[in-house]
Amino acid sequence: MDFDLGPALLFCPADRPERFAKAVERADAVILDLEDAVAPDAKDAARAHVAASELDPARVIVRVNAPDSPFFADDVAMVAGTPFRTIMVAKAEDPRAFDVFGADHRVIALCETARGVSRADRIAAHDRVTALMWGAEDLVASLGGTSSRTSNGQYRDIARHARSRILLEAGAQGKGAIDAVHIDIDDLDGLAAEAADAAASGFRATACIHPAQVATIRAAYAPDAETMEWARAVLAAANGERGVFRFRGRMIDEPLLRHARAVVTRGA
């Protein structure tokens, strides 16, 4: 159940079907959102739009409402009747909630509350889970806070802790990790820096809320020519070496070779 949808995942309100096709065209995958993007009185219509869509299931994620919400059961029933098999569960806190999905479903658990982040290890271990994602604003709200960032635009310590924990727990279970959205749409420099850090740290994708953010995310995840050349060269050199060896003035061992393999994979 490897995660292979990234790197740029674009949210699209499920009650705006006229945007579905364009969202898929512009991003690597679209997240059809039945949760926060849809008002309570529009949930039924949104489900109908998702069920009627003819998008490629391989490039669609359906975000359903939280398991403790009154909308979850209807979301699950709707998805079961569609070809869509990658489901993002909002405000995931209890991995037992994923048991309602079939064995052919892939779950992206969105850990965006204090309880969800604190249980990330158990959530990541569930056999339906293919990836974890975190959310800064809902997390801070669950703690009674008012902002995930300081005045200079950087994440507060609590947000950085949650981000790191999601990446670590996903990695410990061999699952993918998805970085949170950058809500300042016009701050492409800030997005570029965060996406580059996400890629270098091991995140598999970054979610976004506007098509204008897609190119920035893709560029951040794509290795530059110099890095690709080094990765390919050091892997070629490793074929004739055993154990630790020297390459271009650096000592190379297996962890650095794994870094190089990750670079080549991202650049493929």
Q: Write out pLDDT tens, residues 122-164.
A: 999 999 999 999 999 999 999 999 999 999 999 999 999 999 9
pLDDT score, position 63: 98
Query: Annotation-wise, does 246 bind a ligand?
Result: no
Q: Please give the mean pLDDT across all residues of the chain.
A: 94
pLDDT score, position 20: 98
Q: For residues 253 and 238, is the Cβ–Cβ distance under 8 A?
A: no
Q: Write out pLDDT tens, residues 186-244.
A: 999 999 999 999 999 999 999 999 999 999 999 999 988 888 888 899 898 888 777 88
Query: Annotation-wise, does 253 bind a ligand?
Result: no
pLDDT score, position 1: 46
Query: 8-221 in CATH: which number?
Result: 3.20.20.60
Sequence ranges of the domains in the chain = 8-221, 225-267
Query: Annotation-wise, does 96 bind a ligand?
Result: no
Q: What letters, b where the CB count within 10 A reaches 16 and e where it falls short, cover 89-121?
A: bbbbbebebbebbeeebbbbbbbbbbebbebbe
